[in-house]
Amino acid sequence: MNIKAKQNTVTSKLVARYKLVIFDWDGTLMDSADKIVNCMQSAARLCDMPIPSYEEVGHIIGISLKPAIKQLFNISDDALAEQLVQAYKDAFISSDSTPCPLFEGVVPMLDTLKNAQCTLAVATGKARRGLDRAWAQTNTGNYFSGSRTADEAESKPSPDMLLQLLDELGFAPEEAVMIGDTTYDMQMAKTIGMDRIGVSYGVHAQVHLEALAPVAMVHSIKELERALLC
């Protein structure tokens, strides 16, 4: 047997633990925290607001942008919030050059899960335009059978994104798992009794993720792949 044939035989024996795997995007598949923080700090400067720390911005990553900004800056003024939203978007798209690579091993993991007949989806606090742009930049959109973004569902930690994906793709909560790096990801799954896996390499501390009873905590993409396969 040649090497390629042997690899195909091994791959065909892999079995996914879940029929549906739903990923958060930022901090889970894409290493984008530095860019998000830089752009939020830039927006604050442009709008004459106090400059938030890395940790303060990290805490709101995962929430939809406008609610996140209101929480971060402790404001209720819609006009000011919209000003900050636009300044953040302008920085993210036009002026900030911080790279946003996929974490090492993401594409091989997605290939392996697809070969194991697993349906993949994304539930993200990004806007649809932002997710589509990230997919185009990384050439990964074809891996996912469904997705929900901040402009299509209630913001995390509401389980609305998950409920919509389950309905669209035809799975029950017990057939699916949510994977993310924030307490918002863990909470949205916990609310509907869905299994969840926390990743420790993102923006929220492991101890806070563990408090929401994930079925596993992983520390790399390779560990995540092993946790998803039998």
Q: What is the pLDDT of residues 27-86, one digit of tens each?
A: 999 999 999 999 999 999 999 999 999 999 999 999 999 999 999 999 999 999 999 999
Question: Which residue bears the tokens 């930049």?
Answer: 137
The per-residue pLDDT for range 96-152, each reduced to its tens digit, is 999 999 999 999 999 999 999 999 999 999 999 999 999 999 999 999 999 999 999
**What's the whole-number average pLDDT of the chain?**
94
Distance CA 163, CA 36 (A): 27
User: Is residue 1's pLDDT more than 90?
Assistant: no
pLDDT of residue 179 exceeding 90: yes
Give the orientation angle of helix 106-115 with respect to helix 221-228, to 10 degrees: 10
Asked whether residue 167 carries a pLDDT value surpassing 80, the answer given is yes
Phi-psi region of 150 (alpha: psi -120 to 50; beta: other; left: phi over 0): alpha
What does the buried/exposed string (b/e) look like for 4-33 if buried means 16 or more CB atoms within 10 Å of the residue's CB?
eeeeeeeeeebebbbbbbbbbbbbbbbbbb
pLDDT at 44: 97
Q: Quick one: tokens of 178?
A: 């949510």
CB-based contacts of 90: which residues, under 8 Å, 6+ apart? none
Q: Which domains does the chain have, with CATH numbers?
A: 3-32+101-228 (3.40.50.1000), 33-95 (1.10.150)
